[in-house]
Amino acid sequence: MAPLTGKVAVVTGASRGIGRGIALVLAEQGATVYVTGRTVTPGTYYLPGTVGETAAECTERGKNSGGRGIAVACDHGNDEQVAALFEQVRREQGKLDILVNNAFTLSDDLIEPEKFWEKPLSNLEMWQVGVRSSFVAAWHAAPLMVPHKTGLIVAISGFVGVTYTFGVVFGTAKTAVDRMARDMAIELKEHNVASISLWQGLTLTEKAHYNLAQSKEKMTSSITSMTGSSVEHPGRVIAALTADPEIMKRSGGTFITTEVAQDYGITDIDGRVIPSARDARGGPIWQPV
């Protein structure tokens, strides 16, 4: 039996990028994965990937473990669509074991050099789908976990919690996600449901490849000098955390993904051990509760 056989997961923002990589690994290891995102038609976004394509790949990857993907078109800035997503999970599965809050709107001018007052207020969309969306998803997920006294909520964050990266709105939003995960852990502790935040370093997503090719000179050296991981590397870490019977010892903490990988002896898909960027970019603030 695969480590995650019988587990049910929701991975938000999984048409492409980190979310896609996480979804593929969870399905490969046996989980039923609800793949959410806004892109449903190929070619409608400048980067490749749709929820349907990711879900289909999840099912293919999970054919030997019982894992599969279920595509759900969902704008995580729309509360009604989010409510419908979790109602579908409740109706079809009756429980939820894993929520990965990955969805995050990145402004088009994210890596442009202008100061915060020179950029439009519309950049606060990173709060709408990034901070608020993470809370709303967890608000719906908790009632599917608490009665079963098990579950894991993961926030995908980054070193911006302690290091200036890409600007004020982006950094503040990711910092808020860390604190949210910590305080959720306090309230979930008595119910044996874990909540953690993972700091991703440079992850070689479709967007990262695009940005590095188009505008590497606009990105800070603390990012471009990092050793990048595949999009599946964080998925391997989340799968190990889910299968860990002592996961509650980590609940409430913020962790560097690469360091957790080393704890579990996890390598990337090409066998590399991805180094931690702690020395260059700093360490997390929040410890387990």
- Which run of H or E residues covers position 152? strand 152-158
CB 282 within 8 A of CB 162: yes
Residue 219 has pLDDT above 70, yes or no: no
> What is the C-alpha to C-alpha distance for residues 125 and 118, in angstroms, rounded to an integer?
16
Residue 226 has pLDDT above 90, yes or no: no
> What is the C-alpha to C-alpha distance for residues 2 and 95, in angstroms, rounded to an integer?
19
Sheet holding 32-37, edge to edge: 68-73, 32-37, 8-11, 98-101, 152-158, 194-200, 254-256
CB 217 within 8 A of CB 172: no
> What is the C-alpha to C-alpha distance for residues 65 and 72, in angstroms, rounded to an integer?
22
Please tell me what DSSP assigns to residue 225: T
What pLDDT is stored for residue 223 in this prediction? Answer: 47
> Domains in the chain, please, with CATH?
8-281 (3.40.50.720)
The model's pLDDT over 75-91, given as tens digits with 9 standing for 90+, comes to: 999 999 999 999 999 99
What pLDDT is stored for residue 39 in this prediction? Answer: 87
pLDDT band for position 217 (cuts 50, 70, 90): low
Beta bridge partners of 73: 37
Judged by DSSP in three states, 161 sits in helix
